Structure 1
Amino acid sequence: MRRISMLTGLVSSVMAAPAMAQGTLELVGTPHNGGTGFQPAATELARDLQWLDGMLLVIITAICLLVVGLLIFALVRFNQKRNPNPKSFTHNSPLEIAWTIGPIAILVLIGAYSLPVLFKQQEIPEGDVVVKVTGYQWYWGYEYVGTDLAYDSYMIGAPATGGDNRMTPEVSAQLQEAGYTDSEFLLATDSAVVVPVGATVVMQVTGADVIHSWTIPAFGVKQDAVPGRIAELWFRPEREGVYFGQCSELCGISHAYMPITVKVVSQEVYDAWLAASQEDGGYVDVRQFLAAS
């Protein structure tokens, strides 16, 4: 029993290690071996989407079981051995009415639950924080609307940060310096979007060269960044932490190397970080303000 307790404690320590990488901020939704399903939902939008996915899975499973059951019944009941003389009728009005009304009812049910979720995503509220995000080959640019703050965000290990998209001792040192571990390679960026917990955040998304796509799975948001157009998405994070996403539109040879990092902090930390970043003229590591809070 004691050995089991020691083993459990060791496993818990290993799993908790990434969460300590950013000090008081937990790393949320990082991939791990054998992992399946969604990232933990950190917004109302993400919870709605995950619930809708579960409901659709139940409906689809029921339909598949019904169809397979009917096929098996037909094979057993109407095979040539049991029915050497097949029936000659061509119509069955009740059956035809049933298989017409049934799918219509299912589609109406799905629409009744999915359309409100879609409308909630598309009806953009007034933002407490508004950030313009621009996709480039292959990095992201962020501008905090109404402030003097703008900066670019590159993957740690990308050519712009001195790497060549491969894990090397130099890249490992950069990750450690930024508060990450080697496990966050291909996820961590040299700067991040910083937003306050509980605030309504509106992202104005566009592209500078080709189509990109800005997404954070834990927030339930994804929006194409189309050159010449500005689209919007919104979210209201409910949990402090570090969240990861990826460009989700094939945009060229280094498409796989333009991740997204969002750090959700308290309002006090955000205010201090924003003031310091504007004064400095660019991104300031938010961890120093977390340590002081």
Structure 2
Amino acid sequence: MAHPSQLGFQDAASPGMEELIHFHDHSLLIVFLISTLLLYIITAMGSTKLTNKYILDSQEIEIVWTILPAIIRIMIALPSLPILYLMDEINDAHLTMKAMGHQWYWSYEYTDYEYLGFYSYMIQTQDLTPGQFRLETDHRMVVPMESPIRVLVSAEDVLHAWAVPALGVKMDAVPGRLNQTAFIISRPGVYYGQCSEICGANHSFMPIVVEAVPLEHFETWSSLMLEEASL
């Protein structure tokens, strides 16, 4: 969960998000070095260091300005490729879910179970109990921790986006199209997100709440939900 005046990312709750944070720090260091170099050049332009004819017409300098950007691109590309494959690779998912965006709420369906599904509406501010966050919903998406989870994302009406920052997940929900994403939650907890696509008047009122629990607790929860659905 985000904190007031927070400048950095939320604490990572998945291996994918941990890698994204490391890549962000790596890229930020490169940007800092480039900015320092440019600042030095701008500062030195007023002196004779960079204004003499030898520097301005030097072939060696031209070679450096050509090769250096290529090296920088390689330094950024190489760490990013494994992350892209890690986030795109979906093998042997233990649980598959379908998240459907509506105006303006989400519905979830556990495709491995025949009758396990529900709608998830935002709890109105006047109905919140002490200690609850504004993004709380009446039904949370409950998943087992330390298990590969596949989420199929689509929409019924307009464009939406299913995004949970702490999990490093953001996937567009497009009407008539089925996108998929995957994640593994490394620790128990409750993780909040929101629709990240401007989808209409109540765009800010369709939050996402994912609760990660141990596998045995998930099995108990799913059994209770199936019993309620059969009544």
Q: What TM-score, normalized to structure 2?
A: 0.94
SS of match in other structure, 1:114: helix
- 1:213-228 matches, cutoff 5 A: 213-228=161-176
**CA 1:89–1:247 in 2, change beyond 3 Å: closer, same or farther?**
closer
**CA 1:151–1:74 in 2, change beyond 3 Å: closer, same or farther?**
same
Quick one: which of 32, 52, 55 aligns to 1:61? Answer: 32
Quick one: which of 43, 55, 58 aligns to 1:72? Answer: 43
In structure 1, the gaps of 5 or more residues are 1-28, 158-166, 283-293
User: Aligned pair 1:181/2:131, yes or no?
Assistant: yes
Whole-Å separation in 1 of the counterparts to 2:56 and 2:181: 53
Q: Does structure 1 conserve the Cα–Cα contact (< 8 Å) formed by 2:163 and 2:170?
A: yes
User: Aligned pair 1:112/2:112, yes or no?
Assistant: no
**CA 1:266–1:90 in 2, change beyond 3 Å: closer, same or farther?**
closer
Q: Deviations over 1:134-172 (max 9, x none)?
A: 011110010001211111101101xxxxxxxxx33xx2x
Q: Does structure 1 conserve the Cα–Cα contact (< 8 Å) formed by 2:13 and 2:187?
A: yes
User: Aligned pair 1:51/2:18, yes or no?
Assistant: no
Query: What amino acid is the match of 2:33?
Result: A
Q: Structure 1 vs Structure 2: percent identity of aligned residues?
A: 37
Structure (1/2) with the larger strand percentage = 2
- 1:113-262 matches, cutoff 5 A: 113-147=79-113, 148-157=115-124, 167-168=125-126, 171=127, 175-176=128-129, 181-182=131-132, 184-185=133-134, 187-262=135-210
Two-structure CA RMSD over aligned residues (Å): 1.9
In structure 2, the gaps of 5 or more residues are none
Query: What amino acid is the match of 1:140?
Result: W
The structural deviation recorded for 1:91 is 3.5
Whole-Å separation in 2 of the counterparts to 1:224 and 1:129: 20
Query: What amino acid is the match of 1:141?
Result: S
Whole-Å separation in 2 of the counterparts to 1:223 and 1:88: 53
SS of match in other structure, 2:45: helix
Q: Does structure 2 conserve the Cα–Cα contact (< 8 Å) formed by 1:125 and 1:234?
A: no
When Rg is computed on C-alpha atoms for both structures, the one with the higher figure is 1
Query: What amino acid is the match of 1:151?
Result: F
Q: What TM-score, normalized to structure 1?
A: 0.74
The structural deviation recorded for 1:37 is 0.7
Whole-Å separation in 1 of the counterparts to 2:160 and 2:78: 31
Quick one: which of 252, 266, 272 aligns to 2:220? Answer: 272
**CA 1:249–1:70 in 2, change beyond 3 Å: closer, same or farther?**
same
The structural deviation recorded for 1:78 is 6.5
Whole-Å separation in 1 of the counterparts to 2:144 and 2:199: 30
**CA 1:57–1:88 in 2, change beyond 3 Å: closer, same or farther?**
closer
User: Aligned pair 1:103/2:61, yes or no?
Assistant: no
SS of match in other structure, 1:76: coil
Q: Does structure 1 conserve the Cα–Cα contact (< 8 Å) formed by 2:160 and 2:196?
A: yes
**CA 1:89–1:53 in 2, change beyond 3 Å: closer, same or farther?**
closer
Q: Deviations over 1:263-288 (max 9, x none)?
A: 10111110010011011119xxxxxx
Q: Deviations over 1:177-223 (max 9, x none)?
A: xxx625x11x1111011011111111000111111111111111110
Q: Does structure 2 conserve the Cα–Cα contact (< 8 Å) formed by 1:40 and 1:218?
A: yes
Whole-Å separation in 1 of the counterparts to 2:77 and 2:3: 34
The structural deviation recorded for 1:90 is 6.6
Q: Deviations over 1:226-271 (max 9, x none)?
A: 1111111111111101110011111111111111000101111100
Query: What amino acid is the match of 1:70?
Result: I
The structural deviation recorded for 1:94 is 0.9
The structural deviation recorded for 1:124 is 1.6
Query: What amino acid is the match of 2:48?
Result: R
Query: What amino acid is the match of 2:22?
Result: W
Equivalence for 2:11: 40
Q: Deviations over 1:48-80 (max 9, x none)?
A: 00000000000001000100111101123379x
